[in-house]
Amino acid sequence: MRGFTFAKPNAAIGKNCGGGTGAHRYSAGMNPSRPPADFSAWGAPAQQRGVALLANPLLNKGTAFTERERDALGLRGLLPPRVFTLDEQMERSLASVRRKSDSLEKYIYLTNLQNRNEILFYRLVTEHVEEMVPLIYTPTVGQACLEYGAIYRRPRGLFITLRDRGRIAEILRLWPQEGARLIVVTDGERILGLGDLGALGMGIPVGKLSLYTACAGVHPNYTLPITLDVGTDNHSLLDGPFYIGIREKRARGAVYEDFIDEFVNAVHTVFPKALLQWEDFGNTNAFRLLNRHRTTVPSFNDDIQGTAAVALAGVIAALRLTGGTLRQQRLLFLGAGEAGTGIADLYVAAACADGLSEAEARRQCWFVDSKGLVVQSRVAELAEHKLPYAHEHAFLATLGEAVHSLRPTVLIGVSGMPATFTREVVAEMATLNPRPVIFALSNPTSKAECTAEEAYKWTDGRAIFASGSPFAPVEYNGCRHVPGQGNNIYIFPGVGLGALISEAREVTPAMFLAAARTLARLVQPDDLALGRVYPSLTKIREVSLQIAVEVARVAHDSGLARCARPEDLEEDIRSRMFVPEYRDFA
């Protein structure tokens, strides 16, 4: 089992291994500048034997323990007698997944497998990534969050509530892996397109961190999912008998701010080298929290910045089919929340690098929100993040009117409102553009602004289509169209890996711009021939590696890296990526 490490392990680590959930524990003060890359060199934990070893998901090999290991580790008789290889176990698990009747049942099976044997779980996901990722994340994770209280089996991550104020650092220290370096945190207010799910949102950080390991090789030992339970305004949850969170209305104002401040400061104290990813916070908090805390701990908001990078990469790749330059594109967004304005902000940065002024670049981005076109006459009612895109123009009440008047080349849906890219809207885009770029990015699949089939049919097969959740290929007029999945999975794992490896003090917009350009560059002619503006998901680990290299390069070039720059950055990062392989304990 190979995997990257950040700190040299304690020499006594074999005797310090934690219990139930535990992987290896660290000596808190150790931080050599050049750690070894091979996690497997740490040796077998002396105190993990028998059923205790089988209960440790990071060390348990199940039926793959050899005859020698069974004798040495007190496992004789505790396992069926036949010894299986990892590949044989994977095939058996794959067959078990495929026998399940629906996606949620498959999610539950995979969650249980992860809690039992992480190496097998990640081997299955990495070897069958196109089939497994939609089951462990979008779109299935949306239903899993809705059902999280009912399907909850075993703790994974930390729930920190308002009742824990004053002792958040103490709770963080209870986490069995002292070397946590990557934290994904949510307060559950805006889960995908499903809204306020409170404590049920834990499925999101758990799923995101699984993707970090499967898609970018971040060792699971370093990951920590956290839900900040500040209550919920979802009355169906508060009134339900089985809700797992605190039964209070969602905290706002000073109470909320003080709680978040304490949390961030506690992370900085307990895990001083941790990277923090904000996930699925509501629009009223997301921008403010990012701007307030981005330099206290290295942090980013995937809904704002990850979505921006993956969407911009799709637009850049689409230019190889449509022709023209980035500065010539006019973008119209349905939805003016954190995702949409994040995309626009990154487009502005890219267009400025392409020669436009900031004012000119912003003028290329237009928004339709729930009330209509975002324009200057509405500034008194607009949230702060919309103001830079409130242009001088007559107010238009509908998306269709906006498309007709503004003549966009790119239509991007980030509204969470299904079926809002109507036949009339999509057909108008096809009238205006020989190859209309139509991105329906809202998750899960049920929230997409239109389907892939609709986009191709209503444009006579000319649309360049991408979606947030996967759609199957579409046969139309004898041609096979493969829709791209503009999912953040292409961005955040690589950005996080690059920031961690370089020990970046801050995660900057320049890193996300580098990630977007790298992703667009990795789209191959074979992809474009199918109409796909993203690489195949089967290449996700290589995509994440290349993005990590560019992010780390930005960190070193900008003076934000806290470690020495290796001679060969790509080889250094590749050597540190976790590979799900069993280690020999005998």
Mean pLDDT by 10 residues, the chain (586 residues): 41 29 31 31 58 94 97 96 98 98 97 97 98 95 94 92 97 90 97 93 97 97 97 95 95 97 97 96 93 95 96 98 96 96 97 96 98 98 96 98 98 96 98 98 93 98 95 95 95 98 97 98 97 96 98 98 96 96 90
Is 208 catalytic? The answer is yes
Residue 47: per-residue pLDDT: 63
With both helix axes pointing from N to C terminus, report the angle between 129-136 and 203-216 in degrees, rounded to the nearest 10. Answer: 160
pTM over cut 0.85: yes
Residue 153: per-residue pLDDT: 86
- DSSP strands (E only) in 264-391: 275-278, 299-301, 331-334, 365-369, 372-373
State the catalytic residue, choosing from 61, 208, 273, 447: 208
Residue 469: per-residue pLDDT: 87
Q: Which helix (H) or strand (E) holds 296?
A: none
Residue 18: per-residue pLDDT: 31
241: CB partners within 8 A, 6+ apart: none
State the alpha helices, DSSP H only, in 152-306: 168-172, 203-216, 235-238, 253-270, 283-293
Query: Domain residues of the chain, as ranges?
Result: 103-297, 304-586
State the catalytic residue, choosing from 26, 122, 137, 243: 137
State the Cα–Cα distance between residues 132 and 120, nearest whole angstrom.
13
Cα Rg of the chain, angstroms: 24
Give the architecture-level CATH label for domain 304-586.
3-Layer(aba) Sandwich (3.40)
Residues forming beta bridges with residue 440, ordered by sequence position = 413, 467
Q: Identify the three-state secondary structure at position 158.
A: strand
Give the architecture-level CATH label for domain 103-297.
3-Layer(aba) Sandwich (3.40)
Is 137 catalytic? The answer is yes
Q: Which two tokens stand for residue 497?
A: 């890996």
Where does residue 2 fall: left (phi above 0), alpha (psi -120 to 50 degrees), or beta otherwise? beta
